[in-house]
Amino acid sequence: MNKKQKKMLVRIIATFLLLIGLSLIGITGYARLVLYMIPYLVIGYDILKKALKGILNRQVFDENFLMAVATVGAIALGDYQEGTAVMLFYQIGELFQSYAVGKSRKNISDLMDIRPDYANVERDGGLEQVDPDEVEVGTLIVVQPGEKIPIDGIVVEGSSALNTSALTGESLPRETAEGEEVISGCINMTGLLKIRTTREFGESTVSKILDLVENSSSKKSRSENFISRFARYYTPAVCYGALALAVLPPLISSLWMGLAPEWGVWVYRALTFLVISCPCALVISIPLSFFAGIGGAGKAGILVKGSNYLEALAQTGWVVFDKTGTMTQGVFEVKGIHHNTIDGEKLLEYAALAECASSHPISKSLQKAYGKPIDRNRVAEIEEIGGNGVTASVDGVAVAAGSGRLMERLGIEPAVCHHPGTVVHVALDGAYAGHILIADLLKPGSKEAIRQLNQAGVKNTVMLTGDRKEAAEQTAEELGIREVHSQLLPADKVSKVEELLERKGPREKLVFVGDGINDAPVLSRADIGIAMGALGSDAAIEAADIVLMDDDPRKIAAAVRIARKCMRIVYENIYFAIGIKGLCLVLGAVGIANMWTAIFADVGVMVLAVLNAIRALFVKKL
């Protein structure tokens, strides 16, 4: 509880004790009014001040105005105890709401407590703590056990285990050693690390993630926008309704019916109507539900860029996956060499050298299988053909290595491979020389992820890949994916997603899940783009609407569950608040509900709605 909340608690206790004391003393007349004004002003002076400020700023119709009018009116009618009690219980509700919001914010700030306070820089034989913003690219920093890694970089000395739980939601540490890239926000657990920075702090992973989390509240959902518009028109409407309730029935009864006007009765009913009508429960609980939902997702290592994406994710009907790096590990291994016209080792050497300039996982697997140092002086005229492969001159021999499309493009007939896996065809001096079979391993949670999505009622699961048809169909069958499209170039994936968008239902959302490195166009085109395995990937954080901070495919289903739970809570609060208030407004207008009923309809409903909203913070473990 912060200082402001503690002061409010003291005011509430003081007001409560004063009310009890005054109720035990039999005082009448003006003395009673003066004495009751003391607890009323103790508990309500800030509400009166805000209401007056709103009137002066021509922003009259808000909950402060409603409370001020209702309680001042009750006191004017001589209901001192009720007027003070209404203000007291309203402030109790405000305190509870403030505490609940603060608690949920603290949970999120604790979760995202990855901003480093300093960086250790070696100077004059010692360590100097400097602001991370002041550290330039290429600076050698030292991270001791227990400290956060402040800036992205490469380990130049030392090895350690890193705690990435604040980023991924997983407690399992990651091992790192010399030569490996590390990202900011991780906590160094065991050994001392010396790191050469590769980015400025403002461009580092931790800065991008913090910026994403801090700006998530700026992208409002349709539900939040509806509530904002609703409150804008609703509050003035109930104020005019209360005025009509106070004036019209007495006038009608006296002028047309010849009865006593009973102004006091109708004014009291109008004041009760005002207290009941306060829209706090909706205005507070709906944004809080989304805020808690985003916080709960963040706790699980799922970063949502705005409540609009959380709302859309709850309507997921189709989930489209990239294959390599998303459902598979992206770790390729050479499994065999077939239809070769020269020695297999020599064929592999030509392919590895031709692919030496590429960072693609398949290229790396060829170089790894070759197992010898790459002499780039032997390679010239390298040309990478997107989605097809490469051509190069190796020791004066024209080498082409890539897909069947590359062979057809060069007018070479590729041999058919009957084994499952990715095939790299190789041609030497324009003649087909054989192909290398490469296999990609499935991620451990991929099959379970598809099962969970099917269980969650997702209508269709689709896989898009540049892989050949046989390998793609085998992977899809093994995973349980219902539809697969193979041999696609990056541009083809965008076209295919557009086709799928046409096929889906009007109320269904299409989610595309990619590894965030080369899937930016597709991530942007889908209704919702999810980048997974994005720890440290700028492309993922920028292109996707939702970012999964590790490689676990099961978090896709977890994200859908969190979104649906959040939306369920939002609608529960909307129906509950509007239903109870509507009923109490009718009862108040006909004189059945009094001020105490009004207090429940306002404060009670708000407290229950806020409690319900906080449930969105809690997410079940995978």
Q: Catalytic residue numbers?
A: 322
The structure tokens listed for 45 are: 């002076």
CA 589-590-592 angle, 5° bins: 105
CA 139-142-146 angle, 5° bins: 145
Measured between alpha carbons, how far is 250 from 519 in angstroms, rounded to an integer?
Answer: 69
CA-based nearest residue to 600, from 620, 619, 581, 617: 581
CB crowding 466-503: b at 16 or more within 10 Å, else e = bbbebbbbebbeebebeebbbebeeeebbebbeebbee
The structure tokens listed for 420 are: 């499952």
CA-based nearest residue to 569, from 604, 618, 603, 524: 618
Measured between alpha carbons, how far is 533 from 577 in angstroms, rounded to an integer?
Answer: 40
Measured between alpha carbons, how far is 421 from 403 in angstroms, rounded to an integer?
Answer: 12
Please tell me whether residue 441 adopts helix, strand or coil conformation: strand
Instruction: Give me the amino acid identity at 308.
Output: N
Please tell me whether residue 169 adopts helix, strand or coil conformation: coil
Instruction: Give me the amino acid identity at 310.
Output: L
For residue 511, the 8-state DSSP code is: E
The C-alpha torsion from 481 through 487 and 492 to 497, rounded to 10°, is: -10
286 to 71, 119, 615: CA distances (angstroms):
27, 40, 12
DSSP string, 127-150: EEEE-GGGPPTT-EEEE-TTPBP-
Q: Measured on CA atoms in the order 169, 174, 180, 184, is the torsion positive or negative?
A: positive
CB crowding 109-125: b at 16 or more within 10 Å, else e = eebbebbbebbbbeeee
β 509-514/187-188 pair status: unpaired
Q: Which residues pair with 422 in a beta bridge?
A: 438
Give all strands (DSSP E) within 179-253, no chain letters: 181-182, 187-188, 193-197
Q: How many CB atoms lie within 10 A of CB 552?
A: 23
Which 3-state string (H, E, C) describes 288-332? HHHHHHHHHHHHCCEEECCHHHHHHHCCEEEEEEECCCCCEEEEE
Q: Which residues pair with 512 in a beta bridge?
A: 320, 529
